[in-house]
Amino acid sequence: MDGLTKARWLALLAPLALMAGALGSQYIGGLIPCEMCMWQRWPHYAAIAVAALAFAVPNRMGATALVAVAALLIATSGVIGVLHAGVEYHWWPGFTPCTAGLDSGMSGLDIIDKIRHGPMIRCDLAQWSLLGISLAGWNAIVSLSGATAIFALLLFKRPRG
C-alpha cells in the first residue's frame, strides 16, 4: 500500500473514530456537548466527506489534494480542541457565553436570570477525563497527531516503480 492510500484511509478513519467517540459519549455515555465541543465536530464532519470523496477521484493529484484538505480540517478540529482544553484547564479565559462567569456587582435576581437564560453545559468545566486529559484534550492530541501523520504520508511516501 503506497503513502497516498494509507493517507486516504487515515484521513477517513481518524475523524470517523473521533466522531464515533464523541457521539457515543453523548448518546450512550450521557455527556452533553457544550458549544466548544460542537465547534470541534464540524471540521471532522467536513473531513469525513472530503476524505470519502478522495476515494472516488481517480486522479492521483486530485486525490492527494483532497486528502491534504481533509488533513487540514482534522488539524483545525485539533486546534479548536487545544483552545477548548485551555479553557477547561483555566490556562486562558473562555470567549463564549458558556464560559461567562458572574460579575461581582450582580444582584441575586441578575444571577438567577443569567443562570436561567445561560447555557446548561459550561465550556470551562470538563465533564470527563482520562489520565487527567479531557475529551477536548484527547481530540487535540489525536487530531493533531493524525493530521501530522497524514501529511507525513503524503510528503515522504512516494509510489515505488
pLDDT of residue 90: 83
Which fold does the domain 3-156 belong to in CATH?
Bromodomain-like (1.20.1550)
Domain coordinates in residue numbering, the chain: 3-156
pLDDT of residue 40: 93
Interatomic CA distance for residues 61 and 44, integer angstroms: 22
pLDDT in 10s for each residue of the chain, 161 residues: 788 889 999 999 999 999 999 999 889 988 888 888 888 999 999 999 999 999 999 888 989 999 999 999 999 999 999 998 888 888 887 776 665 555 567 677 776 776 666 556 766 777 777 798 888 899 999 999 999 999 999 988 655 54
Interatomic CA distance for residues 160 and 1, integer angstroms: 10
Interatomic CA distance for residues 33 and 38, integer angstroms: 6
